[in-house]
Structure 1
Amino acid sequence: MNFAIINGKLVNRSEAKVDIEDRGYQFGDGVYEVIRVYNGKMFTVKEHLERFVKSADSIGITLPYSIDDCTALLEELVTKNNLVEGTIYMQITRGTAPRNHVFPAKDVVPTLVAYTKEVARPVESLTNGVKTIRTEDIRWLRCDIKSLNLLGNLLAKQKAAEQGCFEAIQYRGDQVTEGSSSNIFIVKNGVVITHESNHLILKGITKDVILQICSQNNISFEERSFTLAELAAADEVFLSSTTSEVMPIIEIDKDQVKEGLPGPITRKLQSLFTEEIEKQCGDLTEKISS
């Protein structure tokens, strides 16, 4: 992983540096994306870049490159780094300017950064499921923007890690929102239920693929908020994210979900999601065991 992108240029990773007055460093004034790579090919890249542009627009940052230009740059980055299986991290900030809470002058150029990382598919966790906790959602009210301000998410994730768990399921009042770095789904009486995509959650790319799969395969689903009581009474629970795909949840706050095993609809969605990956990126060598 010797190369990175800085403002449209492919540079050696050791040369990839930004100024200490970059607003991303000082204010978290920017947005980011993570794109999955399988077999050297980017998965759902168009959808990720469209969300990247939307998030930037939401905070008044204009991306200085088109989606096609970004795609070409990222493809070159993947090739130069010989990335077979992993992720691309990219972010854009408002740029470098003397520290001031007010936005800098319009001639300040945004800073775009991207790099790659080798990340194996989490087959063992996908096969066996993961443990989670519940925690109050203390984040701001524009969670639909994929911003660099992730302190609330980090505190929730750390709380889960300290209890030996994979993820924290967040809630406001009695309503479940999402995980610290994932979207949350429940299954009840054969119906897949997940929070509607509004300002309280991030509109997940993987979430959207899952709902599209449900629609195409006659799997009933609802996009609506659901309660902690519904979470506790669910037949199945799973989470989704770019790196976690369709991840079964087998335990919440040390209480088993049903028999503590991934459920049949979760398994079906895993299989169908794998098929979608293979349509775009080719056959996967590691498979989820049922």
Structure 2
Amino acid sequence: MMKTLGYYNGTYDELDRMMVPMNDRVCYFGDGVYDAGPCRNYHIFAIDEHIDRFFNNAALLEIRMPCTKAELKALLQELVQKLDTGDLFVYYQVTRGTGMRDHPFTEGTGNLWVTLKPAAPPQLAEKIRLITVEDTRFYHCNIKTLNLIPSVMASQRAKEKGCQEAVFHRGDRVTECAHSNCHILKDGRLITAPLDNLILPGIARAHLINICEKLGVPVDERPFTVAELMAADEVLVSSSSKFCLSACEVDGKPVGGRAAALLETIQKAVEEEFLTQTE
């Protein structure tokens, strides 16, 4: 059994012993897409939804997949069994291929990477602190590409300020966070940015919307502003690794705390769904 695991085109080992070719296009262009999600008790949560998005993102960039959806699902389920804990974070990416550095596409299928590392389920009662950052990313934010420099820089700025996440905005409009989707609760409604090319169609976002609808919480998929964020009853961020956390501060100013009961109901339902599906 292993503590961590890396996989590359059929070869696997502990992560710190894995090596990949320098001519993989990821090294020069970040030319690929990725997906990821939590695993509990050796059960990968929402695996079909993540794999569907993964293949869709690859198709949007015209990357030829080296396997089918069914083959990838079987591979991931096989790999998690090799770890000495079933509570994991499962990450996978496909790059366009291997070849001498040249901007046009390489021929053939892409290279498949998988990394597995231990990760305990998140504690949803945790309150996090946020900062706002101008969104300087390109206009393909709906594709989960490996080009993450703006998110890396924003995350570093947040860390330096003692915060856990950065909220992107384009002018007055809030888009999403550096590595999560952003939502607000206001007057008993969930407000979340619409699916367009400025935000990622998050799996956790979709589950949050579905849960709110089941609870009878109205959902408005519309743009909202930084001013609305600051005046929200609660500020939420959702991601596959953290599910649904709430913020207590944005840019050093207190936010939220005005719909605690509704927030607790939503978070409890989110957690229960995860626990039920990974028993």
Give the TM-score taking structure 2 as reference length: 0.95
Return the letter of the residue paired with 2:13.
N
Return the letter of the residue paired with 2:111.
T
1:218-233 alignment runs, 5 A limit: 218-233=216-231
The residue that corresponds to 1:79 in the other structure is 81
Instruction: Check whether the contact 2:34–2:54 (CA below 8 A) recurs between aligned residues.
Output: yes
The residue that corresponds to 1:274 in the other structure is 271
The residue that corresponds to 1:138 in the other structure is 136
Structure 1 gaps, min length 5: 283-290
SS of 2:245's partner is: strand
Structure 2 distance, partners of 1:130, 1:4, is 31
The residue that corresponds to 2:120 in the other structure is 120
Instruction: Check whether the contact 1:169–1:180 (CA below 8 A) recurs between aligned residues.
Output: yes
The answer to whether 1:210 aligns with 2:183 is no
Structure 2 distance, partners of 1:152, 1:3, is 28
Deviations 1:158-213 (A, max 9, x none): 11110000000110010000000000010110000010111000000000001111
Structure 2 gaps, min length 5: none
Instruction: Check whether the contact 1:3–1:10 (CA below 8 A) recurs between aligned residues.
Output: no
SS of 1:216's partner is: helix
Structure 1 distance, partners of 2:188, 2:28, is 47
Structure 1 distance, partners of 2:84, 2:69, is 22
The residue that corresponds to 1:12 in the other structure is 13
Give the TM-score taking structure 1 as reference length: 0.91
SS of 1:56's partner is: helix
SS of 1:269's partner is: helix
Superposed CA RMSD: 1.5
The residue that corresponds to 1:256 in the other structure is 254
Structure 2 distance, partners of 1:258, 1:194, is 16
Instruction: Check whether the contact 1:10–1:77 (CA below 8 A) recurs between aligned residues.
Output: no
Instruction: Check whether the contact 2:25–2:98 (CA below 8 A) recurs between aligned residues.
Output: yes
Equivalent pairs: percent with the same residue?
Answer: 36
Structure 2 distance, partners of 1:102, 1:22, is 14
Give, in angstroms, the shift of residue 128 of structure 1: 3.4
Give, in angstroms, the shift of residue 135 of structure 1: 0.8
SS of 2:103's partner is: coil
Return the letter of the residue paired with 2:245.
M
Instruction: Check whether the contact 1:83–1:116 (CA below 8 A) recurs between aligned residues.
Output: no
